[in-house]
Amino acid sequence: MVKGAGELLGLLRHGRSLTRAEIVAASGLARATVTHRLDALMDHGFVAVTPGRHSTGGRPAEELGLNPARGALLVADIGSSHLRVGIADLAGDLLAVRDHDVEVADGPGDVLALVRDDMAELVEEVGVRPDAVLAAAVGVPGPVEHATGRLVSPPTMPGWDGFDVQEFLRESFNVPVVVDKDANIMALGEQRALHDLVADLLVLKIGMGIGAGIIARGEIMRGSRGAAGDLGHLPREGGARCRCGQFGCAEATAGGWAIAEHLRAHGHPHVRTSSDIVRLAREADPLTVELLQAAGRRVGEAVADAVGLLNPAMVIVGGNLAEAGAPLVDGIRQQIFARSHPLATDGLEVVTSSLGADAGLAGAAQLAADAGLSTARISAVIGANITFD
Ligand SMILES: [Zn+2]
């Protein structure tokens, strides 16, 4: 049962708008109590009247929804070689985005300074009052201990081990800061874009590295130390040496870094990034297509294991390398269906990302909104104007 104003606001998030009667019914509270709390939410600008549903006859009842313009969310998606920083409204829609090439392996100092400066400039650029920023969220390419926001032994970015990203940004903006693994924010972005219709999904991030975000029953599954979904470093016997030090990881043959290394050694000396590989694939370069097909099969093997364990309703193939399309994705799909028990693949959809490069920032905005619009935060903002029971 819904209690306070924060919970009532929760009913109006995720693009929902409801009539007062629907809010009363969903909350289980008395009409007078709901009116009192909605008035407080409207006085503070969190809730506004939205255009009503189309009705064929009669006057449509007035509907209320979250007011996305009430505040802003700061978001960043730090990849191993690329950084995106953005600002979003409270519905999670991106208002402005900046892109940079970075070397995340060089350590947190320069990269996070860039994130902080970009965020501060974006607040000015879109004309948001600094005190209207309600929360921030950052995705990083390594496992994160969720409770503290600290990175845990990230295999490919040693300088970041134990670094407190949360504290670094909280000092600058004085808002709640959420830090999560890049594949997790991407998975949340994809899931919310499906309007929460799919509760169990596996989202692959295939770029220079390989990772996966697992959504189970609508929630990110992080594991005890934040290392869940690390598909790229599940080893198989007899493979090449990986950048993490193990032998036979999926990344060692299927990661963008491994494909780029191979291409550089075989007639394509200038290949550095995922986009370089995608460009060669689009030109139908035979070696690139062959490497991507092999990568698809190798990733597909690992994904088939995950599908057997988790039984998702959907596998979404995302990340920069997924833009290479068929050579990579066909192999993944084929291996999943060839290697999984029919029970696990019954009704399973394997699709490419609909959000593309925006998936990470979109998911970060959702995580930030969850933190900035949490029941506790809303109660604190609305404060003494309202009693909670
Ligand atoms: Zn590895």
Cα 187 to middle of ligand 1, angstroms: 21
The alpha carbon of 239 and the centre of ligand 1 are apart by a number of angstroms equal to: 10
Ligand 1 centre from 174 Cα, in Å? 37
Tell me, in angstroms, the distance from the centre of ligand 1 to residue 230's CA.
Answer: 9
Shared domain for 203 and 263, answered yes or no, is yes
Q: Which domain covers residue 115, as residue numbers? A: 70-186+360-373
CA 357 to ligand 1 centroid distance, Å: 24
* CATH number reported for the structural domain that contains residue 41 in this entry: 1.10.10.10
Same domain, 224 and 341: yes
* 340 and 211 share one domain: yes
The count of other CB atoms within 10 Å of the CB of residue 162 is 11
CA 89 to ligand 1 center in whole angstroms? 37
Distance 24 CA to ligand 1 centre (A): 52
Distance 244 CA to ligand 1 centre (A): 4
CA of 120 to the centre of ligand 1 (A): 36
Measure 341 CA to ligand 1 centroid, in angstroms. Answer: 27
Can you point out the beta strands (E) in the chain? 17-19, 47-50, 63-66, 72-78, 82-89, 94-101, 133-140, 144-145, 150-151, 177-181, 201-206, 210-216, 219-220, 314-318, 349-352
**pLDDT for the residue 213:** 97
Q: What is the pLDDT of residue 54?
A: 54
Q: What is the pLDDT of residue 149?
A: 82
Q: CA 238 → CA 250, 253, 311, distances in Å?
A: 11, 12, 28
Q: How confident is the model at residue 269, as a pLDDT?
A: 97
CATH of the domain at 98: 3.30.420.40
* C-alpha 73 – ligand 1 centre gap (Å): 34
What 3-state DSSP class applies to 317? Answer: strand
Same-domain pairing of 277 and 173:
no
Same domain, 102 and 171: yes
126 Cα to the center of ligand 1, angstroms: 41
**pLDDT at residue number 217:** 94
Number of domains the chain contains: 3
Ligand 1 center–CA 233 separation, angstroms: 4
pLDDT score for 251: 94
- Whole-number Å distance, alpha carbon 334 to ligand 1 midpoint, is 23
Domain match, 349 and 207 both = yes
Cα–ligand 1 centroid distance for 143 (angstroms): 13
Residues in the chain predicted with pLDDT less than 50, given as ranges, are 1-2, 384-385, 388-389
Determine the distance separating the centroid of ligand 1 and the alpha carbon of 242, expressed in angstroms: 5
Q: What is the pLDDT of residue 277?
A: 97
CA of 229: how far to CAs of 11, 187, 222, 239, in Å? 30, 11, 8, 20
